[in-house]
Structure 1
Amino acid sequence: MESSHQLDTATPPTGTSQMPDAECTHTPKCPTADSPDREAAQVVSAHPEQGWSLLCNALVLFEDTGELLPDGQIIAPHRPLATV
């Protein structure tokens, strides 16, 4: 039985750069996805009901602090440890 649903075959972004300049309209420009301060980029699309946001540098930031870089690399959640 074949599925009638087609997968999105769009080519994913390559590298770890920012969204096109048309998307990053603020000053200063957002840090790139490979910068240490990548989480400081502006939110382009927020989906709190699903637990994630797309940042201007094409980083997907999850509410558990995990990240998905534009090149597909996964950054594990990095929540601060609880203090006793």
Structure 2
Amino acid sequence: MCPHEPPCPPADAHDREAARTVAAHPEQGWSLLCNGVVLFEDTGELLPNGVVIDPHRPLPLVGAA
């Protein structure tokens, strides 16, 4: 499915976010990756099979300046 060498990780892989961007819409806050994943700027994801991955931003450190 992926025409790139090496091929992009599939949508069900843990490293799916490493796939190449094929359409970027930063003004709308999302990008379409080569593997069919829609990646949102809040780090949420929509997989091609309709599964929603909640945002997974790292939490700030307590007391960090």
Q: TM-score of the superposition, structure 1-length normalised?
A: 0.71
Structure 2 residue 37 is the aligned partner of structure 1 residue 59: yes
Letter in 1 for 2:40: F
Unpaired segments ≥5 residues, structure 2: none
Looking at both structures, which has the greater relative contact order when contacts are Cα pairs under 8 Å and sequence separation is at least 6?
Answer: 1
1:47-72 Cα distance to aligned partner (Å, 9 max, x none): 00000000000000000000000011
| Number of residue pairs aligned between Structure 1 and Structure 2 | 62
Unpaired segments ≥5 residues, structure 1: 1-20
| Consecutive aligned runs of 4 or more in structure 1 exceeding 3 Å deviation | none
1:9-38 Cα distance to aligned partner (Å, 9 max, x none): xxxxxxxxxxxx3xx332100000000000
Q: TM-score of the superposition, structure 2-length normalised?
A: 0.91
Q: CA RMSD in A?
A: 0.8
SS of equivalent residue, structure 2 residue 17: helix
Tell me which structure has the larger Cα radius of gyration. 1
Please state which structure has a larger fraction of its residues in strand. 2
Tell me the distance in 2 between the aligned counterparts of 1:28 and 1:57. Answer: 13
Structure 2 residue 13 is the aligned partner of structure 1 residue 45: no
